[in-house]
Structure 1
């Protein structure tokens, strides 16, 4: 995506606020009409930008399945070349260190935490077999109500395991997640665009395969990514369902060409915003360390004693102004408290923050510690290939028991005594992006699947 397109895309954001605000209003807003109106305004602006991008879909619909299969074949071939290069001793192509990988996981989290949301608005068509492929895709994104398979829960656990959160994510990284939420809210008005977006999003990307490989190599659970490798396949998975759904929902009469034009626009929405590769390439370890220290500086500038001085200044004095942070790190290095390009365990500063008995234990999150660790380590590499240090527990796939959950209790009470057919409208709001990963949403998903099967 060109810089010009990114600028145009940002100009299409509603003037009520930035991308993050629009994202949160679509995700958390209580008024369905307001969400739909906001989503429509946002989509109309983004579709104008998508119209300027190349149209890659084949004009001959009979070649659509082979187009998708060829893409999958090309990706497999490129991945085989990647694996051969790694086998021959080549370096990682994406992540230079673990901090780099964690930066990526955090940056893409606004999209991953609403995984599948673009299909939510199609649930009301559960009686229409033409929508089966799309609804099945959405329910599988929700793990069919199994917490161990729910994509959003899997990603939340991955973030939690490494102390990652959304507080410091730049506004521009919210674009794709906002698009997905808007499409989910406006599926009735933008059905062709939803179909096209789904067709593009469910194609297996090369970056997914390489990310999974390198995350595992760095000691980070890749399950979220490997799961998508299997379910997005072009043979029987989501990519195949995307093609079949488009063909089944294409109007038999009427303006088929306008429908296909809109499908193509939806397909191109996938190319707006910062893609995974662009995010990976934007990583600057030194800048991330400085940004992190600046975020913590206001909380630490009055918390240190005056006992230690570095180049004539106390720690509190060094932390008094943000422009002094580079000089403070340089002073720590000059005094030998930080030994760059060596094992961080040899640095006195690292000893202050790592370990249960460390004087600054708990001051830095796991991700913040990883940033500091990799910045200190620099060119130094451990003797073995496995990571020098690992923080955070391995992402667990075990379902969590929930006791006396109020939402779950209210949902069960609302369903009690209702005929099966009348339960579906009660269940559907609980399958939304904001709710489906909660206990009540998981239960609602399982019940929705049961009723969808029995009432058809």
Structure 2
């Protein structure tokens, strides 16, 4: 097993402009590999381009920083009113407004995964300022994103667990632009000293409680998908004592006293607008097309199944292997199966012979489709039949993850413990900090490092 021990710095290299279609490449470079000068250069190059785009976006924040707390509270109250209206519509028999079915919800979870897998990364750069009381609000927020080192509360651990439950961890390639927000967060984390005002502004925006988070949590539970990751953010991001409040306090602590406060504030507002780059959650939810997703999924699997079927069964004169022999035929194949009665749309999928080949013990195609792929097929076959059922089913109660204790035989845990032995508390802090990065903190050694970091921080102050 290869250890995750952070590597030594390497000399910086010059990077070209990051073009459209290369966002995922930038994301992977910032997430993986060593925390070196090369990664710093990538982060700064990427941020410069993103900030230039953010300048063209409308400004929503108040012009006076001292009016910020009242503005945040007004925003929060507005979201609460909109959510109350949503609940009233649902209680009066209205349908779900975000997710048409479980497949739609899983599509959303998969699409936002690049961002959720680096949750909190924009604040990684503040770790080195643990001794400066002005950074306490930002540092506290970051450590809480890391679950204070406890896997049952670490946001990335929770999201990975949610993805794994539906086998979404190794999802097919998704659009490049869905990596944009994750790349912004990683870049801010690695260029935090040079872009501190933008980090503060981004944090102000990201830690506000959005309406889509509340509705997503409500509807996920209706669809029997554990909403705990989302409900955790509902409580932790509140404007009274939570991350939204800490974000305002952090700005007031770190605003210059004598230097150009106006220039600093303008950069803060640019950082806030970085949240609006790329596709947001509502746009992702609205982009779901069940017919297209089913066809795309089947097309990805087609090359692996085109020689695997016998020739005794034909649909409209063509064998299954012939239907799968070339791209572009799958829509016709699905129609042919409907015409022959193998698929009965808008009925209980159990009435379709094709579904019984896919699902259940002893199914001839058992294991061919992942849980998400099966859900796509199920919801596509069911169609209107799903809408005829109960509009608001029993809601699933959020349940915190139960995680085992740190595995002491993990090689990275052992390596970290050895590295800490014989060092002073201040020296230990230097060893621990790289383990709190987005690449490492959700692993056993990173979780251990986070707990030890918090212990030492309290003792050394």
Q: Give the TM-score range, shorter chain.
A: over 0.9
How far, CA to CA, are the matches of 2:189 and 2:132 in structure 1?
18
Is residue 108–residue 285 contact of structure 2 (8 Å, CA) maintained in 1? yes
* Aligned partner (choices 310, 329, 338) of residue 324 of structure 1: 329
How far, CA to CA, are the matches of 1:62 and 1:176 in structure 2?
28
Cα displacement string for residues 16-61 of structure 1 (whole angstroms, at most 9, x for unaligned residues): 9611111000000325111110010000001001001111111122
Q: Which residue of 1 aligns with 2:380?
A: 375
3-state DSSP of counterpart to 1:323: coil
Distance apart, 1:62 and its partner CA = 2.0
After the TM superposition, which residues 239-254 of structure 1 pair with which residues of structure 2 at under 5 Å, given as runs? 239-254=244-259
* Aligned partner (choices 275, 278, 299) of residue 294 of structure 1: 299
Unaligned runs of 5+ in 2: 1-15
Q: Which residue of 1 aligns with 2:4?
A: none
3-state DSSP of counterpart to 1:200: helix
3-state DSSP of counterpart to 2:384: coil
453 and 341 in structure 1: CA distance in 2 versus 1, 3 angstrom threshold: same
Is residue 200–residue 247 contact of structure 2 (8 Å, CA) maintained in 1? yes
Q: Which residue of 1 aligns with 2:95?
A: 91
Is residue 318–residue 325 contact of structure 1 (8 Å, CA) maintained in 2? yes
Q: Which residue of 1 aligns with 2:57?
A: 53
After the TM superposition, which residues 1-400 of structure 1 pair with which residues of structure 2 at under 5 Å, given as runs? 14-15=18-19, 18-30=22-34, 32-165=36-169, 166-381=171-386, 383-384=389-390, 397-400=401-404
How far, CA to CA, are the matches of 2:399 and 2:106 in structure 1?
14
Distance apart, 1:403 and its partner CA = 5.0
Distance apart, 1:322 and its partner CA = 1.6
Distance apart, 1:253 and its partner CA = 0.8
Is residue 142–residue 152 contact of structure 1 (8 Å, CA) maintained in 2? yes
Moved more, 298-307 or 362-371: 298-307
The answer to whether 1:425 aligns with 2:430 is yes
Cα displacement string for residues 116-173 of structure 1 (whole angstroms, at most 9, x for unaligned residues): 0000011000000000000000000000000000000100010111121342321110
CA RMSD across the alignment: 1.7
Q: Which residue of 2 aligns with 1:406?
A: 411
Is residue 157–residue 395 contact of structure 1 (8 Å, CA) maintained in 2? no
Is residue 94–residue 391 contact of structure 2 (8 Å, CA) maintained in 1? no
Cα displacement string for residues 360-395 of structure 1 (whole angstroms, at most 9, x for unaligned residues): 10100000000000000010036455779x9xxx97
How far, CA to CA, are the matches of 2:384 and 2:86 in structure 1?
24
Is residue 100–residue 283 contact of structure 1 (8 Å, CA) maintained in 2? yes
Is residue 319–residue 325 contact of structure 1 (8 Å, CA) maintained in 2? yes
104 and 13 in structure 1: CA distance in 2 versus 1, 3 angstrom threshold: farther
TM-score (norm 1): 0.94
Is residue 158–residue 395 contact of structure 1 (8 Å, CA) maintained in 2? no
TM-score (norm 2): 0.93
Unaligned runs of 5+ in 1: 1-11
3-state DSSP of counterpart to 1:362: coil
Is residue 430–residue 441 contact of structure 1 (8 Å, CA) maintained in 2? yes
Q: Which residue of 1 aligns with 2:441?
A: 436
Distance apart, 1:223 and its partner CA = 0.4
How far, CA to CA, are the matches of 1:427 and 1:16 in structure 2?
36
How far, CA to CA, are the matches of 1:386 and 1:118 in structure 2?
37
Cα displacement string for residues 77-100 of structure 1 (whole angstroms, at most 9, x for unaligned residues): 000000001011011110011111
Aligned length: 441
Is residue 408–residue 414 contact of structure 2 (8 Å, CA) maintained in 1? no
